[in-house]
Structure 1
Amino acid sequence: MNTPKLSIALSCAVAVLMLSGCAASVKSGGTETLVIQESAKQNLIVNFEGNSKVQQNEDWPRLKREWNDALQVEATRAGYRLTEAQASSQASKDGVGIKINVTNFRYLTPGARYGAGVMVGNAWVNSSADYSDLKSGRLIGTRTYDTSSSVWEGVMSAMTQEQVQAISQKIISDIKSAKAK
């Protein structure tokens, strides 16, 4: 290969690497084994909560909406029905309550990353999920779900929307793999 072609090929390879970024990875924790009846897995009720700092963040409604949408997609993929908690109680049905507690987050859109690059900083979500039996109200278990991006991953690094998608995949995977009673 002559020098100009090698130079172009190398430039293209570097550009692809800089634009490719990494998928969001989730750090998850929890010590207890989740035990959920198969019939209860079919009915998932999610509720989002945040501390006062989280609730005052102007992006809190957007985060909840995108997270609920991502959970809907993953639940449907797994063959489960997921609804967001409403004022009406569904305690008489078999099911799993998922209370997602957000302790901190920094919302970034891909547009912000594309427009300002590394200057916008990192996106992250710190959360936990309490799983409970809908009929009895008994706590089944708790898991932590944290994710973050790095500006050094490039302009395509995982922004908040991709992060909540990754957490949603992990939540549904944890439910799916839970041992039956």
Structure 2
Amino acid sequence: MNTARPSSPWFRLPALALCAVLAGCAANVERPGAAGGTALQVPARAQASVALVVRAAHPEVARSSDWQALRGAWRDAMAEAARAAGKQFQYLENEPQSAPAGSTLVVVQVKDYRYLSTGARYGLGVMTGNAYVNADASFYVGPGRTAVGQRSYSTSSSAWQGIFSAMTDKQLASISAAMLKDIDGG
């Protein structure tokens, strides 16, 4: 019995097509000004623990009906990114006067966003439009509140990617991973 796979390229075509479609699942994070900028100066003692605060940059942002959903999704995304990076994580509802000792405090100010769940994209397809997030983040180390830098992050989906485009949860996961990379000096 011959169990070898046929060597015809036609048998590889479905796998390649699937890879191309799924490539749309990732969210690309744009970091304006980061290309030539200096790395954050986070001391090694503050890199193992991250605290996150998500606030609205403008009152209109906080009045949006899905504001709390966005904040919850960002909390979950950063918790998962921190876990994967081997870091401790703490989500703070309000901005503290000082950063927790031995940690990096990330204060995110959301300037604009359009929250779309993956379920909405699957259910309504491209009719749901595009998800996007545009935010600034300030980084502080504790104890105290020593500023170590600021970064801007933005990401968006495209209707051209169809139902596999990155919705808000994947976009926030990508931004969270980029923030942790910035904290680590990358």
Q: Smaller-chain TM-score range? A: 0.7 to 0.9
1:153 is paired with a residue whose SS is helix
1:80 equivalent in alignment to 2:83 = no
Q: 1:104 aligns with which of 101, 112, 115?
A: 112
Q: 1:48 and 2:50 equivalent?
A: no
Q: Deviation digits for residues 90-125 of structure 1, max 9, x if unmatched?
A: 646122110011000001112222222222111000
**What is aligned with 1:62?**
69
**Aligned match of 2:28:** 25
Residue 136 and residue 119 in structure 1: after superposition, are their counterparts in 2 closer, same or farther (change >3 A)?
same
Aligned to 2:134: 126
> Any idea what the Cα deviations from partners look like across 1:14-46, whole Å, max 9, x if unmatched?
985895334110001343321111111122211
Residue 159 of structure 1 is aligned with which of 162, 167, 174? 167
Q: TM-score if structure 1 supplies the norm length?
A: 0.82
Question: Are 1:114 and 2:113 matched, yes or no?
Answer: no
The amino acid of 2:78's aligned partner reads L
Compared CA separation, residues 118 and 33, structure 1 to 2 (3 A): same
Gaps of 5+ in 2: 1-10
Per mean C-alpha deviation after superposition, the further-off stretch among 101-110 and 70-79 is: 70-79
Letter in 1 for 2:86: G
Q: CA RMSD in A?
A: 2.5
User: Secondary structure, in 3 states, of the residue corresponding to 2:26?
Assistant: coil
Judging changes above 3 Å, is the alpha-carbon distance between structure 1 residues 92 and 76 closer, same or farther for their aligned structure 2 residues?
closer
Q: Distance in 2 between matches of 1:92 and 1:67?
A: 20
Identity %: 33
* Structure 1 segments unaligned to the other structure (5+ residues): 1-8
Q: Letter of the 2:61 partner, please give it.
A: V
Whether the 8 Å contact between 1:47 and 1:84 is mirrored in structure 2 is yes
Does the 8 A contact of 1:44 with 1:81 survive in 2?
Answer: yes
In the alignment, the residues of structure 1 paired with residue 86 and residue 15 of structure 2 have an alpha-carbon distance, to the nearest angstrom, of: 40
Q: How many residues align?
A: 169
Q: 1:154 to 1:15 in 2, by over 3 A?
A: farther
TM-score by length of 2: 0.80
Higher RCO by CA contacts (8 Å cutoff, separation 6 or greater): 1
CA drift of 1:134 comes to 2.2
